[in-house]
Amino acid sequence: MQIYANLTIRQKHIIWAWAFLALPVLFYGIIRFYPTGNAFLISFQDWNLLGKRTWTGWDNYIKLWNDPVFWKVFKNTFAYLLIGTPISLFLSFLIAYHLDKLRFMHGFLRMLYFLPFMTSAVAMAWVWRWFYQGVPIGLFNNMLASIGIPQIEFLNSTTNALPAVLAPAVWAGLGFQVIIFMAGLRAIPTSYYEAAKIDGVGWFTILTQITIPLLRPTIVFIVVFSSIGFLRIFDHVFNMTTNNPGGPLNATKPLVLMIYDTAFNGFDMGYASAQTVVLFLILLVVSLIQLRLLRSD
């Protein structure tokens, strides 16, 4: 107590700050850093959850490099990222931009857009799966049949399955991005727009020279958040392709689903951990590249 009494006010503040942070930091370290470090360790081992762990070195990574299924899954994962992120970014900004100017039923419409984000991904996946079924069950194929168009194999086609799974994933996350974009639009001072109107500047110039540049921090957040979501896509794929997980010829199988299948169906935790490490590195590299490219000058 004498030592504490001799400390300065600043030192006492630091001690109390760390005292209050100790429990959350410890909790976060146990549930986040320990499993991450353990996954790196298991990736160099052979383990089936029941037996002993045996050290195998780089064997799991060599197996991963020579696995054609992995490269197919790797391609699918980046397809979700490169298609889903731009589409969701464009649609969410377009909706938020026009919704921000709307005053009639503004709150109700904003709630409708945000509702899918609050809905269970499993429930939405099964509803969309029903939409994609063939005649006479599926909604979309019944609509096509009513106007004389042959039915489409949405989930049983190697070319249509991935876009069919991606569509509800984009739709589900759209509401959150719209809300974030609207918050960013509301944060822009109205004085900029008033000055532009006085100078007779057109709407397109206002959009490209004022709105979008001032929304850069919001865009960076949404791009990084959305990219991580598409790289980790699982719920929609798993529930929409339960009869054939990953779709026909693994056409829709992402890396997270491959990890799940390897770990809990194949009981190969070492190989699954190696895939997890690869996913972690992909998320890290993609996030750093996006932050580097989109950062403010």
The pLDDT averaged over each successive group of 10 residues in the chain (297 residues) is 72 83 85 86 90 90 94 94 94 90 80 84 90 89 90 89 93 91 89 86 86 90 91 91 84 93 91 94 89 69
143 and 240 in a single domain? The answer is yes
Rounded Cα–Cα distance for residues 284 and 295 (Å): 16
Identity of the amino acid at 49: L
d(CA 254, CA 278): 13
Q: Which residues span the domain enclosing 188?
A: 60-295
| Domains of the chain: total | 2
- For residues 64 and 165, membership in a common domain is answered with yes
Residue 165 is predicted with a pLDDT of 93
pLDDT at 1: 61
pLDDT of 65: 94
Angle, helices 269-294 vs 68-101, to 10°: value is 40
Q: So what's the pLDDT on residue 109?
A: 81
The enclosing domain of 161 has a CATH number of 1.10.3720.10
Q: Of all helices (H) and strands (E), which one includes residue 188?
A: none
Gap between the Cα atoms of 177 and 181, Å rounded: 6
Q: Is residue 169 located within the same domain as residue 287?
A: yes
pLDDT at 249: 87
**pLDDT at site 168:** 92
Do residue 15 and residue 119 come from a single domain? no
